[in-house]
Amino acid sequence: MTTLSRRVFVLGSLGAAVLPRRPLPYPFSLGVASGDPAPDSVVLWTRLAPSPLADDGHGGMPAADVAVEWQVSRSASFARLVASGTAVARHASAHTVHVVAGGLAPDGEYYYRFRAQGSISPVGRTRTAPAAGRGGGDLLMLFASCANFEAGFFTAYRRMAEEHPDLILHLGDYIYEGGATPGHARMHLGPEVLTLAGYRRRYGQYKTDPDLQAAHASAPWLAVPDDHDVEDDYAGWHRLDDVPPLSAARWVTRRNAAYRAYREHLPLRPGVPLHRRVPWGRLATFHMLDTRQFRDPQACGGHWKVCPDADRPGRSLPGRAQERWLLDGLAQHRAVWDVIGQQVFFAWQVNASGAGNMDAWDGYRASRDRLQRGWVERGVRNPVVLTGDIHTAWANDLKADYTDPASATVGAELICTSITSRGDGTPVTEVPTADVNPHLRFYSDRRGYTRTRITRSELRADFRALDAVTVPGAPVRTVASFAVFDGHRGLVRL
C-alpha cells in the first residue's frame, strides 16, 4: 500500500503530478455509469477500485484524494470534446466520482469516459432530456429491480443494454444485504452487511459484474433504493424485527452507512433528495418516490395479514410531505404522461383469506386513496405507476374502489419482475388471485425487465422474460404486451 500511494497521481503534489513509472493496477474495474439526465446536463459516475473486494471497503486505493479527468463527446471516438474537466475522487467517498457534466444540448446522445492513474475507463453512452415544453422523439425506457447476486446471473441487465434504451429506471434492491448462502451458483462476499466498509465491498462485488456494467454504460439511469439496499422490510427508522440483533445505535449506524454507500455508488445528482422529479420534455414527467425512509411501521407486525389497522387514515407510505410533493407535481400537467417510479405493489391485492401485504400499499390504504383521489381531482391525464420489489411481473388496473369491479379505472400499474431474485421461476402466467382481484390483469414468474415505448399517443409495455438465470446467457423474449392509450385510463392487452 505504501509503495502504491507514493506512485499515485495525488492532488496537491507540487508542480507536475508524480506519474507512475510502471502502470498502476487498472482502477476502472467497476465500469462507468450516468444518471438523472436534464436538458442541459447529466451525472457521470465512476469509482477507482483496482481491488474492489478489499477488506477495508476502499477498493485497494490509498488514503489520498486522486484527480480524475472526464470527457464528453458526441461520438464514441471522442474526435471532438463538447465538455471535459477534472474531478476529485475522494478517499472519504471510497474514490467514487459524481460529475455533473453541464452545457450539453437538449435531447442529445453523448459518450463519456474517465482517465486516472494512467488508465482510461470504458466508454459510456448517455443522453440528455428534451427541453421543457418540447416533445422530443419517442422514448424507449426500460425498468427493472431486484438483482440478488446469489440468485443468478445478471443476464437481464445484458439484454437491457442490447435494447439500446434511452433511459433505465431502477426501482430498488440494487444490492441485497444478506450474508453468503452456500450452494448458490454465485455467492455473496462475506456475512450480512452491517458497516460502511461492508456495503462498499458489496457494491464492489456487484459492480464487477460485466452485465451490470453494460446496462449502466448503455443509458442514463433513474435509480431509487428499496429495503434490501439497507435491510429487509425496514420502515423509516423502524426495523421489522431484531434480526440480526442490533442496538438502536448500531441500527442507526447501519442505516446511515447503507444510504451513504447507495449515494456513493449510483449515478445520483449530488444534494438532490431520492424522491425527485425528472422531466422528459412535454412527453413525460418521471416522479421518483422514496417509499422506505419516511414510511410508518408496517401494520400488525408486517407480512400478509388481515389487519384493520392498515386502514387508519393517519398512516402513510411515502410520508405526508412526499404525498403533497407528488400531488403538487402531478397538478403541474407538464407532460402527456406522468410516470410514478416507486418500490412496492400499489394496487389492492388480497389473498383467498382476505389478507394483504403489509409491506406494500395495502398496509397503507388511506395513503394510496389520497394519491389516487388526488390525481383524479387534479385531472391528471395519464398516471402510470411503475413498481419493483415483488420479483414477479404484473399488469394492474388501478380502481377508484377496489371492492367494486364496476368502479372507475383511475390509472395503470406495471410491475417489472426481478433481474434474478426468486431464481429461474416457472412458465406460469395465470394471475394467482384473479378471482378475488379482477383488476390484476397479468402475471409472470420469469425474471427479466419491462420495456416501454412512450409516444404522444400511447405507452406500450412489453414484459421481457428469460427462461433461466441460474445459467448464463439466456435469450430474452416478450411474454405479454399491454398499452395505455392517451386519455384512456387502464390497460389494453395487445
Residues at the site binding Ca ion, with contacts judged by CB under 5 A: 173, 226-227, 389
Angle at 44 between CA 167 and CA 105, to 5 degrees: 70
Shortest CB 172 distance to Fe ion, Å = 7
Shortest CB 135 distance to Fe ion, Å = 35
Query: Is the CB of 73 or the CB of 291 nearer to Ca ion?
Result: 291
The helix (run of H) or strand (run of E) holding residue 109 is strand 109-116
Query: Is the CB of 418 or the CB of 437 nearer to Ca ion?
Result: 418
Cell of 166: 434511452
Segment lying near Fe ion (by CB under 5 A), choices 6-14, 139-147, 273-281, 379-387: 139-147
Residues 168-187 that bind Fe ion (CB under 5 A): 173
Q: Are strands 109-116 and 32-35 parallel, antiparallel or unpaired?
A: unpaired
* Distance separating alpha carbons of residues 486 and 484, to the nearest angstrom: 7
* Distance separating alpha carbons of residues 40 and 42, to the nearest angstrom: 7
- A 10 A CB-CB count for 239 gives 19
* Distance separating alpha carbons of residues 28 and 59, to the nearest angstrom: 11
Segment lying near Fe ion (by CB under 5 A), choices 36-44, 51-59, 363-371, 420-428: 420-428
Cell of 408: 372507475
For 174-230, give the DSSP string: SS--PPP-TTSSS--SSS---SHHHHHHHHHHHHT-HHHHHHHHHS-EEE---GGGT
Segment lying near Fe ion (by CB under 5 A), choices 2-10, 275-283, 416-424, 439-447: 416-424
* Distance separating alpha carbons of residues 155 and 389, to the nearest angstrom: 19
Shortest CB 228 distance to Fe ion, Å = 5
Q: What is the DSSP letter of 487?
A: T
Is residue 82 within 8 Å of 110, Cβ to Cβ?
yes
* Distance separating alpha carbons of residues 322 and 32, to the nearest angstrom: 31
Q: How many residues bind Fe ion (CB under 5 A)?
A: 3
Query: Is the CB of 233 or the CB of 462 nearer to Fe ion?
Result: 233
Determine the length of the chain. Answer: 494
Is residue 445 a contact residue for Fe ion (CB under 5 A)? Answer: no
Is residue 393 a contact residue for Fe ion (CB under 5 A)? Answer: no
Query: Is the CB of 128 or the CB of 420 nearer to Fe ion?
Result: 420
Query: Is the CB of 227 or the CB of 290 nearer to Ca ion?
Result: 227
The interface partner of residue 227, options being Ca ion, Fe ion, none and the CB cut-off 5 to 8 Å by kind, is Ca ion
The interface partner of residue 150, options being Fe ion, Ca ion, none and the CB cut-off 5 to 8 Å by kind, is none
Segment lying near Fe ion (by CB under 5 A), choices 59-67, 76-84, 350-358, 417-425: 417-425
Segment lying near Fe ion (by CB under 5 A), choices 166-174, 306-314, 354-362, 475-483: 166-174
Query: Is the CB of 155 or the CB of 420 nearer to Fe ion?
Result: 420
Greatest Cα pair distance in the chain: 76
- SS3 percent helix, strand, coil of the chain, rounded to 5, is 20, 30, 50
Shortest CB 202 distance to Fe ion, Å = 15
Cell of 460: 406500450
Segment lying near Fe ion (by CB under 5 A), choices 56-64, 88-96, 257-265, 421-429: 421-429
Shortest CB 338 distance to Fe ion, Å = 25
Shortest CB 277 distance to Ca ion, Å = 23
Shortest CB 147 distance to Ca ion, Å = 11
Cell of 107: 435531447
* Spatial CA neighbour of 143 closest among 482, 390, 388: 388
Shortest CB 292 distance to Ca ion, Å = 9
Query: Is the CB of 146 or the CB of 416 nearer to Fe ion?
Result: 146
Query: Is the CB of 29 or the CB of 392 nearer to Fe ion?
Result: 392
Is residue 317 within 8 Å of 289, Cβ to Cβ?
no
* Distance separating alpha carbons of residues 374 and 8, to the nearest angstrom: 56
Query: Is the CB of 389 or the CB of 458 nearer to Ca ion?
Result: 389
* Distance separating alpha carbons of residues 26 and 322, to the nearest angstrom: 42
Angle at 97 between CA 271 and CA 74, to 5 degrees: 100
* Distance separating alpha carbons of residues 256 and 128, to the nearest angstrom: 31
Q: Is 310 helix (H, G, I), strand (E, B) or coil?
A: helix
Query: Is the CB of 227 or the CB of 445 nearer to Ca ion?
Result: 227
Query: Is the CB of 60 or the CB of 388 nearer to Ca ion?
Result: 388
Is residue 146 a contact residue for Fe ion (CB under 5 A)? Answer: yes
Segment lying near Fe ion (by CB under 5 A), choices 110-118, 141-149, 204-212, 373-381: 141-149
Give the x-and-dash track for 327-366 against Fe ion (CB under 5 A). ----------------------------------------
The interface partner of residue 36, options being Fe ion, Ca ion, none and the CB cut-off 5 to 8 Å by kind, is none
Shortest CB 228 distance to Ca ion, Å = 5
Cell of 363: 398496509
The footprint of Fe ion (CB under 5 A) covers 146, 173, 421
